[in-house]
A and B are shown apart, each in its own frame.
Chain A
Amino acid sequence: MFSRQFEYLAPTSLDDALSALASTPGAKIMSGGQSLIPLMKLRLFSPGTVVDIGRIDGLGDIVERDDHISIGALVRHNQTASDPLVAEHATALGQAAAWTGDHQVRNRGTTCGAMAHADIAADQPAAAIALGATMVARSSSGEREIPAQEFFVDALTSALSDDEILVELRVPTSTNGSTSAYDKLGRRGGHTDYAVAGVAVWVQVTDGSVSDARIGVTGVGTRPSLAEAAASALIGTDGNDEAITDAAALVTDGITVIEDLYGSVEYKTHLAKVFTERALRQALAG
């Protein structure tokens, strides 16, 4: 299986990559290639120029800075899954990365690439919105920050414009009493493969009661979305089992659940509730 012919550019600096993007209409960024190459092989997508950012130094680190941790554009899923800073401040993202694809995919695919690709069933985007992450996009004319919940516009559509590179993902460092968790059913059963339904939760507990919460749902609609009604129902409770069940019952309120090859509306709605309960129990226990 071969893709159509394309011109391959492998710049070694971010500035060169940005100017190649700006000056070449239809050019596409490649990071891990784990979504782009399959699409190109199937000829569902045939960019004239591919700009591989894989040889740019300085994009492959996870660092703690001021009030956030930064995950660079070339951080692979496996690195996100095993990083101690991620485990401490962004548990849900680490779990979502560990359950993305398989070993080989995780050795190549990048956390930022999974954001930019914006698949409706991708795991890490749910964690990004639940954690209140920020996407940092750069073009040759400057840099802008996009809140995660505004980043996922529609199926396979992010808020990035054609000349922008997602250079880093920033996750706020966890402050007193905030924890997060992710749980899913994968298409191949267990946690393997894209989410039939996946739920990431972030909760903050102050003086024994839930003072703030965000719940990100993936796989069930046309984009990862925040379950606002469920989060509001949880806030103010002490996070006991009953409060968890009551909140989870509202998880698809305001989300248009769609049927696909992997499940009916009814089944996915049910799964979203189950994984909300499981993720909340896990986060509130930790």
Chain B
Amino acid sequence: MQVSLTVNGRTQTAEIESRTLLVHYLREHLNLTGTHVGCETSYCGACTVLVDGKAIKSCTMLAVQTEGAAITTIEGLANGELHPVQQGFVERHGLQCGFCTPGMIMSAVALLDENDSPSEDEIRHGIEGNLCRCTGYHNIVKSIEYAAATMRGDDPPASDWEDES
């Protein structure tokens, strides 16, 4: 089947099998391997991308379903400099092995798009569809808080290790 869509601002047209999952299309046809395949069973969220601005699991969507849609992957976030959410993960050590990170960041971008000042609770709920086996989530939450502050133009909250007292 033929499918035409926009990925990170670029129009793409391809001839693919109808059973090709969006994640495989991105990774294997477009070589955009930043989007990870974790569980493949719709639970871990490592494959999260934005389709028309909404976070979805690309292992649970067929590429042919995205005909005419605009996709954003982790590769599409940085624009000369890192996206504030990427920068937040750098500043607040939001990753260890990094496997969950692209999906986690895409979920965080979608969350901050809907709510520019999420509470800690809202952040934790906002990433409930993303599993991390390394960090225990604490620094991920701090990274997203950092990003939210810088995106609003506020000073980021102090880090756990910069004790101000």
Residues of A participating in the B interface, judged by any CB pair closer than 8 Å: 1-8, 10, 33-34, 37-38, 40-42, 50, 52, 54-55, 101-105, 107-108, 192
Q: How near does chain A come to B31, taking the closest CB pair, in angstroms?
A: 19
Q: Mark B80-111, 1 if CB is under 8 A from A, else 0.
A: 00000000000000000000000000010011
Of the residues B17, B42, B67, B110, contact of A10 by C-beta under 8 Å: B67
Q: How near does chain B come to A30, taking the closest CB pair, in angstroms?
A: 8
* A-B contacts, CB under 8 A, total: 76
Residue tally, chain B, CB below 8 Å to A: 27
Q: How near does chain A come to B49, taking the closest CB pair, in angstroms?
A: 10
B55 touches A104 (CB 8 A): yes
Chain B's closest residue to A4 (CB) is B19
List 23 A-B residue pairs with CB atoms under 8 Å apart, sorted by A's residue number.
Answer: A1-B40, A2-B19, A5-B18, A6-B18, A10-B64, A33-B65, A34-B60, A37-B21, A37-B62, A38-B41, A41-B21, A41-B41, A55-B67, A102-B45, A103-B107, A103-B111, A103-B126, A104-B55, A104-B57, A107-B54, A107-B56, A108-B60, A192-B128
Chain A's closest residue to B107 (CB) is A103
Q: CB of B156 within 8 A of chain A?
A: no
Q: Which residues of A contact B107 (CB under 8 A)?
A: 103-104
Q: How near does chain A come to B46, taking the closest CB pair, in angstroms?
A: 11
Chain B's closest residue to A192 (CB) is B128
Of the residues A6, A42, A103, contact of B128 by C-beta under 8 Å: A103
A37-B61, A52-B65 are contacts. A8–B18 as well, Cβ < 8 Å? yes
